Structure 1
């Protein structure tokens, strides 16, 4: 019971770090932290033993749990730069669905190694003498172990003293570094308390009342925004298109292409005064977190690193762009070309105030390209929904076609070829497959522009990527192409952090719209920016977003971009009061007592979900889908 936890911690750190040298260096230079990891692992083993009663079986179960943790954390870090968190356990269907797309030699070797150790531990039943502990002692051991795990999970006062004495430094804002410093078992346990967002020290009704007064004063003294020029007073359709993993591969300076892969984006960047870059809180995954920032105006910077609001926090109505536009007489619809359960969108969209949500189950006979519904099919659905709806529409669109991985040439023969002296054959193949998909996304934007450019319905399209694509393990393509200096994200410069979190952002409209220069816009500030472009009055939380965006248009947990484009690791102290207001309002709306609604925008801030949510996709929609599926099955294979 002492030896197995020691070996387990060594094995877990080796599996997760991927280097024996790094593992031994961490152990040799962090004896107290290594010991804490062993203690926690011992408590897990003792708890299982207290329940099971067989040391060999308990050791096998503990090894399975810890081995899976290490493998998952290793793969997550390699794919998206984030380790394994307690709340990842909630991602049951999502994890299994994406796991089928992730294979590789490294993962297979680790799985075989863990399986071998489990078998070895089981075989020890015939070697180690059986020891029987009285039931009372087992219960006592189990209760002690459970309490110890609980105490470290919530960081009780006694556990806090132990952690301080051991020199534990919890780096919540940089979880990869947090796990690297403290060890997988300890960092994972400490993150349990982060599943619940702590109330800010400055949050109370008096503070929120002061924020409301400041918001009203800001709105009163703000210069009049030049409204969009619309004919006959028509309200414009507002279409957000968040394109999966969309990025500009021509930014790889050491790579050239056989043709321009993004002609539409590049044309709009030259023509429009409303083109720039979206600063995303994510890399390689976590689409719903970008969606959360754009729709609510809230920031991931104030939530635990690696958390997923859609899965963890949104269980009641939360004001968003969807509910705001619904209040303005719009039909608000979400469109996503993947299954509605993913990231709990079916339920979350209801809480965000959408009237309807058209997920892949509601698409009729969709075109598939690669693994998923094509971006062209999504464009056709957007065009169709606008055409058949009398009211002006707010549509939030999320595509899926170019979701990773890009290891297989899933589009067949790629028409766009990449050339780079530093690219390996594998990196070249990955890049060309990704670029082909990005080209299709660009073409889908042009399809929507062509559809609406001569329409008598005023329409605005906001098009951007949710995050940079994961182009190989350990940022392989970016490193080989010279886009970043190292595959160790902890060693990136501020400029590299900015580059690895910036996706193209363009807007287009078929009516005259005032031009605004916004080179960089955080996803959480995009909603306020769009409302300003449309000349629409901003609700309270988006007014606060707009005020902060004037000072720091780019805000991530580890990067701030000020109004002059200067980069800093954290916001200047002079902006602390405004940032505290932003944090307090976010807490008030998501977790607090909704004090803000007592002082301003009560109807918008307290609006419930739409009573007829998704009524249009009820029995009729299901029947239509079944009929379409029957027609699809009747097609010859070549047509499908």
Structure 2
């Protein structure tokens, strides 16, 4: 070691050495190492020391000779991992079929219906039918993978993260599909963010525990392999990048800029694709459609199986609710709340009853409408004589339906919330799937009874599967204490069918409601019933169908078969409804029924081919009726009741029942008085499509253009938009007021 001593004085040695020592050895590290080597010399010259030194040399040589994986190798791994993720996610939504008599099914059918067979069909349809859904899912998942690669800039770490997320998602998806016949949707992530992560394990069925354990072991092995490869890969960064001295030289600058550009472009592309996927006409919507994507917003599991879980998840991640109205702020909403509260108090001075002193049954009668009102359809026998006669004695009329042939949940959503599809953005196609799952406390009218009677204040029935339109999870948010379906626990009580019909009859559905009312004694509830009897298809299910001979329409073939079958179903509904009301009339407690058909069946090809029939194909029948024990039963005059849309049913029911109302119902009452019906008409398969338009009807059922509405009507629409925005996409300012509180006597 070089000496820098200038004096032999010990004090000088201690005081000056540090100052005079070279900068690189100011802390004495070099001298320390030299002393260690001196003391270790005997050990290193020993046999064991020699072996240890050799081992270190070998390790150092191996480390210096690490593999520098090529970008081509990365591309191969990237492709294999993405293909595996695509197939794994698709596997997660399939289930092995069961057969009543396995011996009656041939081997080929069993093979194609198995999970492996369904997975094979999903892939080979790319070549056989030019349906490129598998390729679309591959590209979308690849984009997610690519974002991780560029963001982390470590290929093997990104691979570990991507593969782990895909594996966990697939296993969780598989379990949820098995439990609820429903795939994971974006709103499910709130379960984790809400601090319920620890409860997940308790939800896993015993039969799936082995799968979970195998997955955990595979996940650990996968992460270990990826970490080992990252250590062994001399190319530590996918794109050369330097945090320190980023402008050191042109090469460093180029690498840093490339890294930033790739991250920004890939992330922006993924964000834009997801943000616009649910918006008809957007670039991602159009591109996905060109690849074979066809959204099934009425059935999330069907959508995941047909279009892929990745597409199903991303399309529900964002849907534009509605534009922020001009003037929306807290002060404006408080002013609206005060104004309509004052008006409600005035209305309530003329009302004598309470909503919650009666049981209200809201019946969505699947596809129910008068077939004789369709242009070109005639019968020699009336398919609905009882309901036609009833409509002359109670509040009734025609309902403007936003759907034709489908879209049931949209009409139901309007009836339960008072909100209008016509005020939402056109890209909002299914609130039950695209809006409600993202809301914390959506308001629905059944909550009026919940406020009075607790969680038992409202129940719901639907003689079909519970996951359709995500009703099961949505109804829980709405506050229904029980939702009785074919697959609920316990299931709906009555499931009888008529002749060869594939679904539960209306008579059976009504009987389940009657049993529930009787079991509830003198207590009151809000009861929601969605029937299934008249759901498509209409394949000549019924024996002794007199409407085959009674049909004098100028139609033939499959259209005639469907119309005749449907007419018989309407006749059966007509009689079952009359019997149901007769039973309610014998009850000693007040009961009011709100009955409406959701949309026309999509079977009138001849009539639908004429654009002049568009409006008539969007009009169904409704009535509001109260039994003899009811104090109300005030028939609303035809001037305001002849036409309606489902969002006005509850305020109309309050007038019919002569009950006190909330400021919210007062607003709806005023809008209905000026604009009897409004809605977005969608004439297309399943009620969803791009050709949407908001329609306003006057008291005679004539369409009115917005610019021709009165100033008062336009102001009411403005108020309605502000309130709907606040309830769905805004800040919820009205929640801090008494806007939704129903007055009582």
Normalization by structure 2: what TM-score? 0.55
2:633 corresponds to = 513
Local SS of the residue matching 2:362: strand
Deviation, structure 1 residue 249: 0.8
1:568 corresponds to = 704
Question: Is 1:341 matched with 2:479?
Answer: no
1:278-306 residue CA offsets vs partner (Å, 9 max, x unmatched): 11222222212111110111111233445
How far apart are the structure 2 equivalents of 1:365 and 1:52?
57
Whether contact under 8 Å (1:51, 1:142) holds in the other structure is no
1:381 corresponds to = 512
Structure 2 vs 1, CA of residues 150 and 226 (structure 1 numbering), >3 Å: closer, same or farther?
closer
Task: Give the alignment partner of residue 128 of structure 2, picking from 115, 125, 135.
Answer: 115
Whether contact under 8 Å (2:664, 2:739) holds in the other structure is no
Question: Is 1:452 matched with 2:584?
Answer: yes
How far apart are the structure 2 equivalents of 1:283 and 1:352?
26
Local SS of the residue matching 2:588: coil
1:354 corresponds to = 480
**Cα root mean square deviation, aligned:** 4.5
Q: Which moved more, 1:526-535 or 1:502-511?
A: 502-511
1:259 corresponds to = 381
How far apart are the structure 2 equivalents of 1:523 and 1:541?
15
1:166 corresponds to = none
Matches within 5 A, 1:569-584: 569-570=705-706, 572=709, 574=711, 575-584=713-722
Structure 2 vs 1, CA of residues 310 and 193 (structure 1 numbering), >3 Å: closer, same or farther?
closer
How far apart are the structure 1 equivalents of 2:322 and 2:592?
39
Local SS of the residue matching 1:340: coil
Deviation, structure 1 residue 195: 0.9
Whether contact under 8 Å (2:376, 2:553) holds in the other structure is yes
1:150 corresponds to = 271
1:556 corresponds to = 679
Whether contact under 8 Å (2:401, 2:411) holds in the other structure is yes
1:474 corresponds to = none
1:522-568 residue CA offsets vs partner (Å, 9 max, x unmatched): 11111111112111222222221111111111111321013454312
1:371 corresponds to = 502
Whether contact under 8 Å (2:677, 2:698) holds in the other structure is yes
Deviation, structure 1 residue 584: 1.8
How far apart are the structure 1 equivalents of 2:634 and 2:75?
68
Task: Give the alignment partner of residue 726 of structure 2, picking from 577, 582, 588.
Answer: 588
Task: Give the alignment partner of residue 332 of structure 2, picking from 207, 210, 235.
Answer: 207
Question: Is 1:323 matched with 2:455?
Answer: no
Whether contact under 8 Å (1:254, 1:420) holds in the other structure is no
Structure 2 vs 1, CA of residues 61 and 339 (structure 1 numbering), >3 Å: closer, same or farther?
closer
Question: Is 1:547 matched with 2:632?
Answer: no
Matches within 5 A, 1:8-87: none
How far apart are the structure 1 equivalents of 2:345 and 2:94?
48
Matches within 5 A, 1:249-288: 249-269=371-391, 271-288=392-409
Deviation, structure 1 residue 582: 1.2
Structure 2 vs 1, CA of residues 564 and 434 (structure 1 numbering), >3 Å: closer, same or farther?
closer
1:35-69 residue CA offsets vs partner (Å, 9 max, x unmatched): xxxxxxxxxxxxxx99767999999999xx9xx9x
Whether contact under 8 Å (1:561, 1:567) holds in the other structure is yes
Whether contact under 8 Å (1:462, 1:508) holds in the other structure is yes
1:496-531 residue CA offsets vs partner (Å, 9 max, x unmatched): 333222110022222362111211111111111111
Structure 2 vs 1, CA of residues 53 and 117 (structure 1 numbering), >3 Å: closer, same or farther?
farther
How far apart are the structure 2 equivalents of 1:116 and 1:539?
55
Structure 2 vs 1, CA of residues 276 and 227 (structure 1 numbering), >3 Å: closer, same or farther?
farther
Deviation, structure 1 residue 441: 1.6
Deviation, structure 1 residue 199: 5.1
Local SS of the residue matching 1:278: strand
How far apart are the structure 2 equivalents of 1:213 and 1:50?
64
Q: Which moved more, 1:583-592 or 1:444-453?
A: 583-592
Question: Is 1:416 matched with 2:547?
Answer: yes
How far apart are the structure 2 equivalents of 1:59 and 1:366?
43
1:464 corresponds to = 596
Q: Which moved more, 1:139-148 or 1:519-528?
A: 139-148
Task: Give the alignment partner of residue 525 of structure 2, picking from 371, 389, 393.
Answer: 393
How far apart are the structure 2 equivalents of 1:50 and 1:278?
60
Whether contact under 8 Å (2:697, 2:703) holds in the other structure is yes
Whether contact under 8 Å (1:227, 1:533) holds in the other structure is no
How far apart are the structure 2 equivalents of 1:318 and 1:54?
43
Local SS of the residue matching 2:578: helix
Deviation, structure 1 residue 243: 0.5
How far apart are the structure 2 equivalents of 1:423 and 1:60?
51
Deviation, structure 1 residue 114: 4.9
1:305-324 residue CA offsets vs partner (Å, 9 max, x unmatched): 45222222224222221101
How far apart are the structure 1 equivalents of 2:129 and 2:648?
50
Structure 2 vs 1, CA of residues 566 and 225 (structure 1 numbering), >3 Å: closer, same or farther?
farther
How far apart are the structure 1 equivalents of 2:658 and 2:483?
27
Local SS of the residue matching 1:321: coil
2:412 corresponds to = 291
Question: Is 1:497 matched with 2:614?
Answer: yes
Aligned residues: 473
Could you say which structure has the greater relative contact order, defined with CA pairs below 8 angstroms and 6 or more residues apart?
1
Bigger-Rg structure (1/2): 2
How far apart are the structure 1 equivalents of 2:718 and 2:526?
31
1:77-118 residue CA offsets vs partner (Å, 9 max, x unmatched): xxxxxxxxxxxxxx999xxxxxx9xxxxxxx9xx96852558
Task: Give the alignment partner of residue 442 of structure 1, picking from 574, 580, 583.
Answer: 574
Local SS of the residue matching 1:210: helix
Question: Is 1:426 matched with 2:558?
Answer: yes
How far apart are the structure 2 equivalents of 1:345 and 1:451?
28
How far apart are the structure 1 equivalents of 2:679 and 2:75?
44
Structure 2 vs 1, CA of residues 57 and 318 (structure 1 numbering), >3 Å: closer, same or farther?
closer
Whether contact under 8 Å (2:459, 2:482) holds in the other structure is yes
Structure 2 vs 1, CA of residues 53 and 141 (structure 1 numbering), >3 Å: closer, same or farther?
farther
Q: Which runs of 5+ in 1 are unaligned?
A: 1-48, 69-90, 94-99, 101-107, 123-133, 156-169, 472-477, 487-491, 606-640
